[in-house]
Amino acid sequence: MGFQDLPGRVADVRDRIAQAAARGGHAQAVRLVAVTKTHGPDAVEAAWAAGITDVGENKVQEATGKMEALANAACTTGGIRWHLIGHLQSNKAKALVRFALFHALDRDGLVDAVNDVAVKQERALEVLVQVNVSGEESKGGFAPARLPALAARLAAMPSLVVRGVMTMAPLEAEERELRTVFAGARRCGEVLRAAGLPATELSMGMSGDYEVAVEEGATLVRLGTVLFGSRS
């Protein structure tokens, strides 16, 4: 699957997203985040040329390498938004100043580390709280039952702008389970908003389940394989 066909694939995905949003009835706008991990900087340029303004990377080192390689490219000068969507070690939290949005605020220690960076840099950092709705031990994130206390804590950290929640559904889950997980994440966002946080974003849905995620209210879908093909 080559990048020369990317505009057509993007158009197809956007059409599917629009249809899913209409079926779901949540009346939300949905942003497509192109996940370019393991692909080269040319994937980022191809995404930009196809009209995608949001790019997601899992690892800091890979992301910053692409940022440097594309420092003078049209996508950078044009204002592409970089998202860090993967697990982050606390000692790398300072790298978040280079990203528009961090999707995986997934544990107490990382909350402290990211807040410390924001305070020291005297700037706000935009984040999503990762929630583990399915309860899988292999996945990170806060249990939904912890959200009320966490929301109160985050509300006392003005340097963290909590834009919403992120979740991942179990691989190869059936539709009923997908809907349970995604609806649970939507309710977690409601808990954050009830605490006064500007938590309007819902990052959920990947290549295999994004249409169900959009039906359940996703505002950000993280897509790689359906756009760029299988990763090496």
Find all residues with CB under 8 Å of 26, minimum gap 6, and list them.
216, 217
Which pLDDT belongs to residue 2? 59
For 159-185, b/e burial (b = at least 16 CB within 10 A) is bbbbbbbbbbbbeebeeeebbbbbebb
- pLDDT tier at 230 (50, 70, 90 boundaries)? confident
Q: What is the CATH number of the domain that holds 194?
A: 3.20.20.10
Which pLDDT belongs to residue 1? 46
Give the pLDDT confidence of 88-119 residue by residue, as tens digits: 999 999 999 999 999 999 999 999 999 999 99
Which pLDDT belongs to residue 6? 96
Give how many domains the chain has, as a whole number: 1
Domain that holds residue 50: 3-228
Two structure tokens written together for 214: 């959009």
With residue 19 as reference, give the H or E element that holds it.
Answer: helix 6-24
Alpha carbons 232 and 230: distance in angstroms, whole number: 7
Backbone CA torsion sign across 181, 187, 191, 196: positive
